[in-house]
Structure 1
């Protein structure tokens, strides 16, 4: 009705999506090409966690996108027409104003989602070279393969063109609020700053008073720091904590050397309390065959040949064309990668909930929980697969730190105990074992894992490779690699990661 504020929407109108394009559109086809085409827009619209990407140079593989945020909206698209009487050429102009023509409106569709480009455009990286006279030459014809090329194409001289794998992680401006210097407590000593890191720490680390021992050190500690004792006595406030302390001491009486992953699989204790309890009962080995392991106080594995069963083995699942399967074909989780950043093209997921103070102070729970629910005593307990290797099962991660006693395979134990009673010297690389024992164990474990993957995914090994497999079988049995260059001489613990038995320096320094 004319003059009414009520609008009736037609039933046959389909919902529409609006994109606030940051530019003047003169060609619709080219505009859709910068958005990836209609299929790309539809695919991104179907996933609410994705952001719409705009490439100003869609044919340039080095072009970085501008991302749009998704917002719900309730708007309509109207087509407005106004009838205006056109004057004839022979009509004389008159001073009287023309009367306004009739206006008609039509609802084309209803918009329920709108994409708005609110961020800044990312850095752009162009492939070109500049000569001494200022001439600019493009490198796209040399760095991009458009057709199969001969070998000479890859041996031609070319200017180095190594684009960075990632640019800015944020596409919106943020305010950096400068803070004054932190006022530490009395007696605080500023951490030493090396020439490689001129930016010091903003606050003092929370001391956990762990004792670190290197393989070259002459003596091992006999008791914990007094501060570690006070910290644990202050934190141990209930019966559950006392029981955890007794269980921890019982474990170290049974076995003097433990990994933190193995401890987590045998004791259910909050990680923050575990950080306080471990320095109270054991010291930490930094280097040598027992590196990244916790050792009972007053026990020196370098003086006891029977301690070789507690040595650490850095095992990494081998993958590649040489072994018959690629990294993407592995049914095992990968380590944390450098590329696992929160990129601008995705929406951040909600952060995990923080642990309540009541949970830390009162323990893991009360005894009034019904039997139908999972017992709280196992809330923080890990599975045995995080530290035990068994034939027929795959490791949970591609890199694992095993203790030799946790390799529950008879053939592996035979290699470990080959020199029982003949141990003469404890070396930093091999400990009490024979030289290259770790290499033989890795070869045998890799062959077992390959057989498991073969049984789970036989399509990966369907090609004719009998002669190669026979040769590889002999290679694994002899414990030698085909090429000396591929032999892994040293294995270093990776920087903190939850998918391995990691070094805990960051937690205790």
Structure 2
């Protein structure tokens, strides 16, 4: 086989159009692309799409757009010459480069939005296509407006909003018990210039604050006494909640925003999320840090708690306007601990396990066996065993239910026994009835 190259270099630049159909008639193909004028305008503009209409004379179809894609290619002409006298001799190939291209128009968008104005005559079952009866032929076509029996063609006001396919694969719902997920951030950061650290088993935690944070305290006029109060709290306990620092130190929130970043870093994820940890303290290496792990407790609305505990905004508003209702039963909104004989301060409480003033829970934490030498905490549950938070949450729910049961039995919700003669027996068996006004509220509380 012999090959000859002719006109190897060519400076003629071409444009490539990948037509999405089999071309039988070139003139009809050019007509579907809008004609030579429309093709020239699209080729001369870098941002204009090449429009393709499979039915050029039908206005009721969506244009398929061709996008320009940067590419490199050559247009080569290959001619094969064979000897007629000697059929066994090898063929001769002649190559000719006609030009090169830098851009290609491809039609990758959807093109199935095509509507044909077909209709039926009253006495004919065949479909007919008569575009002249639907659109005027010219501006002076008065016969169009004189028609009385026009076919009904119902077309959408707009076609599809997009003409590209979506390749996003949505993740299906997975059943999970909630014990194998890493705790995440529940709210946006409110303190500026503080070290926000995601929990990790390998990374090193900050040892000292940023110098700009220390300078900021001077700008905000933080006194040495205020700084010493917060510093002494971190020396006493290495991990704190924001409410705990506000309650124990007595420092205002504006001053605390400047003091806390200079003494501690903030965990955004993990077993100690939303807590402030003293610089230089690593809870992964201290088994006592289990007392300071995050405990997220949320009240259920079905248990009738909305009657007593409002959301934070409504509760603060009631405190400013008038004394809060049932204040002897509900803890103060600024109280950072949970007492056994009080209802929680809000519908969602971020606490440490040491903030739960319940002997049973503290005894459970104390009885957790010490890990072996060299053992490290778990990335999801910390130093506590799996399912420990569920047990604590159940204990708190039972405690709240018992507190509300005793509250109703005192007669504050007009609880009535079935009969006065058998009042003691009914009370022992839990067989009680309620007024209609309070039945829905109390049904869940007395439901065993």
TM, length-normalised to structure 1: 0.39
TM, length-normalised to structure 2: 0.44
| Structure number, greater radius of gyration | 2
State the structure with bigger RCO (CA 8 A, min sep 6), 1 or 2. 1
Q: In proportion to residue count, which structure has more strand?
A: 2
